[in-house]
Amino acid sequence: MTERYAKQGVYENVPAIYLKHGKYSAILLPTLGGNLVSFRDDENGYRFLREPEGAEWGDFVAKPILHGIPVLFPPNRYDAGSFDFDGRSYRLPVNEAHTNNHIHGFVYDSEWEVEALSEDENECRVMVSFVFDEKHPDFAAFPHRVVLRQSFALSEQGLEQRFDAINESEQALPFMLGFHTTLNAPFAPGSDAGDIRCGIPIGDRWELNARQLPTERSLPLNGGEQALAAGQGDPYFEELDNHYAASGADGGRNAVTVEDAKAGVRFVYEAGGAYKHWMVYNAKANGKFFCPEPQTGMVNAPNVGLPEGVTGLIRLEPGAKWTETSRMYSE
């Protein structure tokens, strides 16, 4: 009989949701950004996400970006926090002093509400939501009521994440979303960085200036990046904090792969086609984890002087809902 459950509990010292279905398990922290911080293959001891346990817990609480799947709304950087949309001016707080930018949005450290928790023979599920409205301290900077909702389903096929955003304000809003997904590489006990080969569905790299903002120029991939694009790369071949167009967003397979030759298994992270850009960050080529970050739009998208079909900036009309689904599994 397949072991399964969907239950409330505690992780470190905060409320947590525990999901289990067969060999897979997952842990979500609703009060710390609605962050799904653990996805494991328990039978084989694989930990696919970097988990904020033990000595890393304090760093995670202080800055919950480099563990699990943090929600970035809006993602990445905006020039001095300022941009215009539909004749309105937005002034997001500058929270990265050395670049004079706003970074990573409003919700990655916010408390999300558990809306539903259930299980059956097919899957175990949790739904969490966050309402960005007048109660939020940054609402004046982004004056739109938006309902954000994440649904995670765990089954024998792995982990499915569905994300919904509903514009409940009276004006169209500039919708921008991403995830600072942090993957263990290697993920198997006994393996090291030399045992893995990765694939990331990247096209041309967007040139960034000294403040990590796009110059609007695209650059060809170097040899290490070409290997990643071909599915046989080393995510630590050099220090990476780079921005790319997604090669698999328009009808292709927008999937990151991490293959462990020693363990004989491959981890797959399928981002939906709506995520048309990637950031790739490897914490100074640390050899332990890297962050393939799917984003709907470019960094600083409202300020980039390229067509919206290129920047990926989404106009979400009043009452409209945006939805996309991603998956994680091993094979």
Question: What band does 1 get if pLDDT is binned at 50, 70 and 90?
Answer: confident
pTM: 0.97
Q: What digits encode the pLDDT tens for the residues 235-286? A: 999 999 999 999 976 777 899 999 999 999 999 999 999 999 999 999 999 9
What is the spatial distance between Cα 140 and Cα 138, in angstroms, rounded to a whole number? 5
> 202 vs 225, 232, 244, 246, 252, CA distance in Å?
8, 13, 6, 5, 11
55-82 average pLDDT score: 97
Question: What band does 317 get if pLDDT is binned at 50, 70 and 90?
Answer: very high
Task: Report which DSSP code applies to 221.
Answer: -
Q: What digits encode the pLDDT tens for the residues 88-129? A: 999 999 999 999 999 999 999 999 999 999 999 999 999 999
Q: What digits encode the pLDDT tens for the residues 21-30? A: 999 999 999 9
3-state secondary structure of 114: strand
Q: What angle do CA 130, 108, 278 make, to 5 degrees?
A: 115
Mean pLDDT of the chain: 97
Task: Give me the domains of the chain, ranges plus CATH numbers.
Answer: 4-330 (2.70.98.10)
Centre a 10 Å sphere on the Cβ of residue 14 and count the other Cβ atoms it contains. 12
* Assigned token pair, 193: 């960085």
Q: What digits encode the pLDDT tens for the residues 276-313? A: 999 999 999 999 999 999 999 999 999 999 999 999 99
What is the spatial distance between Cα 260 and Cα 267, in angstroms, rounded to a whole number? 8
Task: Tell me: pLDDT of 162 over 80.
Answer: yes
At a CB cut-off of 8 Å and minimum separation 6, what does 128 contact? 17, 28, 30, 34, 112, 113, 114, 115, 149, 150
